[in-house]
Amino acid sequence: MKTKHVIDLDSLSTEELMEIIELANDIRQAPQEYSDVCKGKILATLFYEPSTRTQMSFKTAMLRLGGNIIGFDNPQNSSVSKGESLKDTVTVVGGYADIIAIRHSLEGAAKAASLYSAAPVINAGDGGHLHPTQTLTDVVTLYNEKGTLDNMTIGLCGDLKNGRTVHSLIKTMSHFKGNRFVLISTPELTVPQYIKDIMNASGCRYTEVRSLAEAIPSLDVLYMTRIQRERFRSFEEYEKQRGVFVLDREKMCLARRDMKILHPLPRVDEIAEDVDYDDRAKYFDQTVYGMYARMALIMKMLENADRKPMPRVADTHSVRCSNPNCISYTEEYLPRIFRPLGGDMLLCRYCEGRNLI
Ligand code: CP
CA 51–ligand 1 middle distance (angstroms): 5
Calculate ∠ Cα 170-1-154, nearest 5°.
Answer: 15
Look at ligand 1, atom 6, and give the residue with the nearest C-alpha.
Answer: 51
Return the bridge partners of 354, or none: 347
Q: Whose CA is closest to atom 5 on ligand 1?
A: 51
Are 9-127+289-303 and 134-280 in the same CATH fold? yes
Ligand 1 mean position, distance from CA 10 (Å): 21
How high is the pLDDT of residue 191? 96
Residues whose beta carbon lies within 6 Å of some atom of ligand 1? 51-55, 125, 134, 264-266
For the domain made up of 9-127+289-303, the CATH class stated in words is alpha beta
**Prediction pTM value:** 0.96
Question: Mutation test of ligand 1: which of 47, 51, 55, 60 has the most ligand atoms closer than 8 Å to its C-beta?
Answer: 51
- Which three-class secondary structure state does DSSP give residue 69? strand
- Please say whether the beta carbons of 323 and 128 come within 8 A: no
Give the pLDDT score at 310: 77
CA 343 to ligand 1 center in whole angstroms: 38
Q: Which atom of ligand 1 has the smallest separation from the CA of 287?
A: 1
Q: How far is the CA of 163 from the centre of ligand 1 (A)?
A: 11
Provide the pLDDT for residue 311.
85
Residue 265 CA: nearest ligand 1 atom is 1
> Which atom in ligand 1 lies closest to the alpha carbon of residue 124?
3
Report the pLDDT value the prediction gives residue 62, as an integer from 0 to 100: 98
Question: What is the residue-wise DSSP string for 217-234?
Answer: GG-SEEEE----GGGSS-
User: Mean pLDDT for each consecutive 10-residue tract of the chain (357 residues)?
Assistant: 94 97 98 98 98 98 98 96 97 97 98 97 96 98 98 98 96 96 97 93 96 98 96 92 96 98 97 98 98 98 87 90 96 95 93 91
Q: What's the CA-to-centroid distance between 243 and ligand 1, angstroms? A: 20
Count of alpha carbons within 13 angstroms of residue 86, beta-carbon side: 28
State which ligand 1 atom lies nearest to the alpha carbon of 131: 3
Q: Where are the domains of the chain?
A: 9-127+289-303, 134-280, 315-357
> How far does the centroid of ligand 1 lie from the alpha carbon of residue 223, in Å?
15
CATH 3.40.50.1370 fits 134-280, yes or no: yes
Query: Which strands sit side by side in the sheet containing 180-184, from one edge to the other?
Result: 205-209, 180-184, 153-157, 221-224, 260-262
Check residue 305 and give its pLDDT.
86
Predicted local confidence at residue 178, as pLDDT:
96
Assess contact for 64 and 34: CB atoms under 8 A. yes
Distance of CA 353 to the CA centre of its chain: 17
